[in-house]
Amino acid sequence: MIIRARTVVPMASDPIENGAVAVTENEITAVGRFDEIRRQHGGDVLDLGEMILLPGLINAHCHLDYTVLRGKIAPQTQFADWIRAINAEKAELSEQDYIESIQTGFSEARRFGTTTIANLTAFPQLIPSIDEPMRTWWFGELIDVRSPEQAEQIVDDAVAHLKSARRWGLAPHAPFTASPRLYSRCEEIARRENVLLTTHLAESRDEMQMFRDGAGAAFDFLKSIGRSMEDCGGETPVARFLRTRTADDRWIIAHLNELADTDFELLRAAPKFHIAHCPRSHSFFGHVPFALDRLRAMGFNICLGTDSLASNSDLSLFAEMRDLIQKKPQLPPREVVEMATVNGARAINQRDSLGGIQPGARADLIALPDAGAASSVFERIIAFAAPVPWMMLDGELVSS
């Protein structure tokens, strides 16, 4: 079939006025001006009219487990207090609550135009009970802070469940909750099974104080629950991570908010992994400004995530793009949209098949009403603040 729209925004190339996309089954076979596509390709024409047609959005970091916690946790001045608050809320939830939470999160993400999601779950055993309405990379979120001697077993048990998913990866939670043995085991399995890795790193001031200074609220809290704190009081979280990891491009690193000057020197020389930035979660915690320009200039691929609704108000990547550009108005709007499309696809190693409208890519498309104001099409995309009225996922029309 041929899908026509007033403006097609392929991301892989410049926007096309009066554009069209040819789709055969679940694959995009051509993109261009409507008259050319019509001449060269057969099939029915679906004319979307005054719409902007673009690739479905890619959420590179979220935790659908906690969709149910929306509005339950107030912003905290200390990250350790937030961890305490979320742990108290989690203690009240049953498996059925988590299944509903994940399912509700999927629906909401899809309503806001997300077609691919990198979702961390602490409950990989629930995956078979969940109807997966979009392309999902399930990352098993792993913590061994209370039982580091069981690191390998914890990873292996999760992998046994994760293998029921079509696409999966491993997520050692963070250096303060996952031991070096757990990280090593995850890397070993990721290489063996050819899967992706993600983790939280340098997220908060508390984390920096804990590792670099051997002090602070996170240090005290984790010490109180029995974590060995021998690795604290010397290195920054980034220095520690880079020293012990083979940080190749399998890693999607969430956050990197709190960085020391020495970290920038290390990162300049480091392998260029992917960075998932979560603008509104960043605002919720009041972290220091994200070093987007410096990290991009070093060659890191920066994509966007919503994080969970324990530190955000909804699962809209449009709202993430708006928050980011409000904080950094000098950013070219096109590059902001790239962060939610092509960059996310690169992070999950799907650059040829997702995040862009190009021949050979999967037919994951969304369309927005085009207000047609004087601003650029990328500004109009970022400004869009309603449920997405039209979506095609894997070549199938999705009813909203």
Q: Which residue lies nearer to Zn ion by CB, 11 or 309? A: 309
Residue 92 near residue 229 (C-beta atoms within 8 A) = no
Least distance (Å) from Zn ion to the CB of residue 120? 6
Which range in 42-50, 299-307, 341-349, 381-389 contacts Zn ion by CB under 5 A?
Answer: 299-307
Which range in 66-74, 207-215, 289-297, 303-311 contacts Zn ion by CB under 5 A?
Answer: 303-311
Q: Which amino acid is at 182?
A: L
Task: Tell me which residues in 193-212 interact with Zn ion (CB under 5 A).
Answer: none
Distance CA 211, CA 259 (A): 12
Phi/psi of residue 252, each to 5°?
-105, 115
Q: Which residue lies nearer to Zn ion by CB, 37 or 278? A: 278
Q: Which residue lies nearer to Zn ion by CB, 29 or 199? A: 199
Task: Tell me which residues in 229-268 interact with Zn ion (CB under 5 A).
Answer: none
Q: Which residue has the tokens 């862009």?
A: 356
Task: Tell me which residues in 18-57 interact with Zn ion (CB under 5 A).
Answer: none
Q: Which residue lies nearer to Zn ion by CB, 53 or 142? A: 142
- Separation of CA 258 from chain center: 19
Q: Which residue has the tokens 């040819």?
A: 22
Distance CA 225, CA 80 (A): 12
Site string for Zn ion, 368-397 (x = CB under 5 A): ------------------------------
Distance CA 95, CA 78 (A): 29
Least distance (Å) from Zn ion to the CB of residue 173? 9
Q: Which residue lies nearer to Zn ion by CB, 174 or 247? A: 174
Q: Which residue lies nearer to Zn ion by CB, 307 or 323? A: 307
Residue 251 near residue 186 (C-beta atoms within 8 A) = no
Instruction: Tell me the residue nearest to Zn ion as measured from the CB.
Output: 307
Q: Which residue lies nearer to Zn ion by CB, 311 or 350? A: 311
Phi/psi of residue 204, each to 5°?
-135, 165
Closest Cα to residue 154, out of 183, 121, 182?
A: 182
Q: Which helix (H) or strand (E) holds 396?
A: strand 396-398
Q: Which residue lies nearer to Zn ion by CB, 139 or 300? A: 139
Q: How many residues bind Zn ion (CB under 5 A)?
A: 1
Phi/psi of residue 61, each to 5°?
-160, 110
Least distance (Å) from Zn ion to the CB of residue 199? 9
Q: Which residue lies nearer to Zn ion by CB, 206 or 307? A: 307
Which range in 89-97, 228-236, 301-309, 373-381 contacts Zn ion by CB under 5 A?
Answer: 301-309
Least distance (Å) from Zn ion to the CB of residue 61? 6
What Rg, from alpha-carbon coordinates, does the chain have?
A: 21
Which range in 153-161, 243-251, 302-310, 379-387 contacts Zn ion by CB under 5 A?
Answer: 302-310
Task: Tell me which residues in 304-343 interact with Zn ion (CB under 5 A).
Answer: 307
Q: Which residue lies nearer to Zn ion by CB, 206 or 364? A: 206
DSSP readout, 122-173?
S-GGGGGGS---SEEEEEEEE--TT-GGGHHHHHHHHHHHHTTSSSEEEEE-
Closest Cα to residue 252, out of 151, 328, 139, 342?
A: 139
Least distance (Å) from Zn ion to the CB of residue 237? 15
| DSSP structural state of residue 309 | T
Least distance (Å) from Zn ion to the CB of residue 157? 21
Least distance (Å) from Zn ion to the CB of residue 346? 20
Least distance (Å) from Zn ion to the CB of residue 254? 5
- Separation of CA 277 from chain center: 8
| DSSP structural state of residue 362 | B
Least distance (Å) from Zn ion to the CB of residue 113? 21
Least distance (Å) from Zn ion to the CB of residue 275? 13
Spell out the residues 6+ positions from residue 171 whose beta carbon is closer than 8 angstroms to its own. 120, 139, 140, 141, 142, 186, 197, 198, 199
Residues engaged in binding Zn ion (CB under 5 A): 307
